[in-house]
Amino acid sequence: MAQFGIGMIGLGTVGTAVARRLIDQWELLRRRAGSTPVLRRVAVRDPGRPRDLDLPRVQLDGDAEALVDDPAVEVVVEAMGGIDRASALMDRALRAGKPVVTANKAALAAHGLELAALARENRVSLRYEAAVGAGLPVVALLRDSLRGDRVSGLEMIINGTTNVILTGMEKQGATLAEALADAQQRGFAEADPSADVDGHDAAAKLLLLSRLAFDAPLTMDDVVTVGIGGVTAQDIDCAALLGGSVKLVALAQREGETVTMSVRPTLVLDGHPLHGIDDSENALVVTSDLAGHVMVGGLGAGGDSTASAVVSDIVATVLAPSQAPPVPASSPAIGDDGAVERAGYVRVRLHPVADAAQLVIQALEDRGISVEASALTQPAMGADQELALRTGVVARDMLARAVETVDSLAVVDEVATVMDCVRPS
C-alpha cells in the first residue's frame, strides 16, 4: 500500500505523542487513511538531546527549512509553537504545495488569513483542529458538520489554565496567586502564564472559531479581552451566594451583518450549560438556525489530547491533501461591545449605614436596571459589609452608567466588581 511522507517540526510533549502514534499505530492509521502516514523527518532545536522516544528510520536534525523542502516530506506538521518562525515555515510549505497541520493558535490568529489564502492558491489543505480545545472536535464541528447552518452565537470555556485556577479558588478556597502556583505545579500553567491569565489565549481560540462560524476575515483587534487578574476570593464566594461560579467565558455573536466578540470573567449560573465545566475541561456551545444549541465538552488540554487532534488532521490530510480552507464569504461590521445586552453581576462595598443595600438596589432600579437576586456578606471584624447582586439583561454601557451612579452614593465605599452574568435559557 502507498505511503505518505510526514515531516514534523518540533518534538515537545505534543510532537512526541504524535510521533509515537505514527510509529506504533501505523496499521490502524493505514486502514483509516487508505495510505500509510510515515514519519520520515523531524526537525528540532537541539538534535543531540536525549529523548524518551525511539525514532527508527527517521531523520532527526535541526534544519527545519530543509525538512520543508525535502521531496520525501509530503505533509508538514508544525509543532514548534511561537509565531513568526512557525508562520514563515508554514508559509514556505504551502508555497511549495505541501499541506500543513498545526496546533499553533497564536500563529494562526496572527497570520492565519494569509496562510489560508496561500493554501487555497496552491490547492492544499491547512488543518488546525488541535489549535482550539485540544482533542475536542470543535473546528470540525464548525468547518464541516454545521456548514449548512447559519451560526449566530458561540459561548465557551476554552482556556484550561484559567479554568484550573478559578476551579481551585472555588473548590479549595485558594487565592488567585495560590491557585496559579498549584496549576503551574500540576503542569497546567506555563512559567509565564500571562497569555492565559490575561485572556489572550482564549481570545485567539475564539477568533479562529469565529472566522469559521461567521465566514469572516476577523482579527485579534476585533476581540474585547479581559483576563482573570481582577477576580478575587470575594467574587468567588459571592458567585456561590448568587447561585453560580466565576468562569472565563469567550463569547461571539452575530446579529444581521454585525459581529461582536469578547473574553471576560463571567458569573455562570447553575443550570447554564457552562456551569460545572471545571478544572481542565473545556466546552463550546454553538447556536445556529437549524441545529439549535449544540454543545461539545471534555478534556481541553494535555499532550495526548492535543496529539489526538493532530493525528486526526494528518489522517484527514492523507485522505484529502488538496482540500483547501474555506473562503471568507463576508466582511461583517464589528459591533459596539457596550451595546451587547447581558445580565450583570455587581459587588459593592458598603459603609455601615442602615438600609445601605436597599439604597444601592433602589439606585439601580431608578436607572432602569432590574435586580433579580442579591446577597449580603457577613464581614470579618473591621471589614466593610459587601452587597453582591445580579441584574436582568441590559446593555453593558447602560449598566456601567448605572454603576457610576451607585459609586457616587454616600453609603458606598467602592464598587469592587462588575461582570457579565449568563443564566439558563
Please give the angle made by the CA atoms of 187, 188 and 192, to the nearest 5 degrees: 90
Q: Is 330's pLDDT higher than 90? A: no
Among 310, 294, 312, residue whose Cα is nearest residue 302? 310
Phi-psi region at 100: left, alpha or beta (left = phi > 0; alpha = psi -120 to 50): beta
Using the structure block, give the residue that is written with the C-alpha cell 438600609: 355
Average pLDDT over residues 291-301: 89
Residue burial 245-274, b: 16+ Cβ < 10 Å; e: rest: bbbbbbbbbbeeeebbbbbbbbbbbeebbb
- pLDDT of 1 reads 58
In terms of DSSP H, where are the helices of 38-123? 64-69, 84-95, 105-121
Mean per-residue pLDDT over the chain, rounded: 93
- pLDDT of 83 reads 95
Q: pLDDT digit string (tens) for 253-278? A: 999 989 999 999 999 999 999 999 99
φ, ψ dihedrals at 295, nearest 5°: -120, 135
* Cα separation, 34 vs 285, whole angstroms: 33
Q: How confident is the model at residue 378 (pLDDT cuts 50, 70, 90)?
A: confident
Instruction: Please give the CATH topology (third level) of the domain spanning 3-131.
Output: Rossmann fold (3.40.50)
- pLDDT of 402 reads 96
Is residue 15 part of an annotated ligand binding site? yes
* Cα separation, 394 vs 62, whole angstroms: 56
- pLDDT of 48 reads 87
Q: Is 381's pLDDT higher than 70? A: no
Q: Is 385's pLDDT higher than 70? A: yes
* Cα separation, 110 vs 94, whole angstroms: 17
Please, where in the chain does CATH 3.30.70.260 lie? 338-422
Using the structure block, give the residue that is written with the C-alpha cell 488541535: 130
Task: Return contacts of 57-62, CB within 8 angstroms, 24+ apart.
Answer: 58/19
Instruction: Please give the CATH topology (third level) of the domain spanning 138-297.
Output: Dihydrodipicolinate Reductase; domain 2 (3.30.360)
Is residue 394 part of an annotated ligand binding site? no
Percent of the chain with pLDDT over 70: 99
Lowest mean pLDDT among 8-22, 167-181, 381-395: 381-395
Is residue 171 part of an annotated ligand binding site? no
Assigned CATH for 338-422: 3.30.70.260
* Cα separation, 223 vs 215, whole angstroms: 16
| Cβ–Cβ < 8 Å for 107, 82 | yes
Is residue 247 part of an annotated ligand binding site? no
Q: How confident is the model at residue 314 (pLDDT cuts 50, 70, 90)?
A: very high
Active-site hit among 98, 171, 205, 247: 205
Using the structure block, give the residue that is written with the C-alpha cell 467565558: 249
205 is catalytic: yes
Q: Is 360's pLDDT higher than 70? A: yes
Q: How confident is the model at residue 100 (pLDDT cuts 50, 70, 90)?
A: very high
Please, where in the chain does CATH 3.40.50.720 lie? 3-131
Q: Is 140's pLDDT higher than 90? A: yes
- pLDDT of 187 reads 82
| Cβ–Cβ < 8 Å for 254, 210 | no
Q: Is 298's pLDDT higher than 90? A: no
* Cα separation, 383 vs 237, whole angstroms: 16
Q: Is 301's pLDDT higher than 80? A: no
| Cβ–Cβ < 8 Å for 197, 228 | yes
φ, ψ dihedrals at 123, nearest 5°: 55, 50
* Cα separation, 244 vs 423, whole angstroms: 9
Q: Is 149's pLDDT higher than 90? A: yes
Q: Is 49's pLDDT higher than 60? A: yes
Average pLDDT over residues 48-60: 90
Q: How confident is the model at residue 24 (pLDDT cuts 50, 70, 90)?
A: very high
Lowest mean pLDDT among 70-84, 224-238, 319-333, 364-378: 319-333
Is residue 98 part of an annotated ligand binding site? no
In terms of DSSP H, where are the helices of 186-271? 194-197, 200-214, 233-241
Please, where in the chain does CATH 3.30.360.10 lie? 138-297
Among 77, 64, 81, 65, residue whose Cα is nearest residue 6? 77
Q: How confident is the model at residue 380 (pLDDT cuts 50, 70, 90)?
A: low
Q: Is 382's pLDDT higher than 70? A: no
* Cα separation, 193 vs 161, whole angstroms: 8
Is residue 368 part of an annotated ligand binding site? no
User: Which stretch of DSSP H or E encloses residue 120?
Assistant: helix 105-121
What cell numbers appear for 358 in the block?
436597599
Lowest mean pLDDT among 143-157, 180-194, 351-365: 180-194
Percent of the chain with pLDDT over 90: 82
Going through 300-337 in order, the beta strands assigned E by DSSP cover: 333-334
Is residue 9 part of an annotated ligand binding site? yes
Is residue 190 part of an annotated ligand binding site? yes
What cell numbers appear for 355 in the block?
438600609
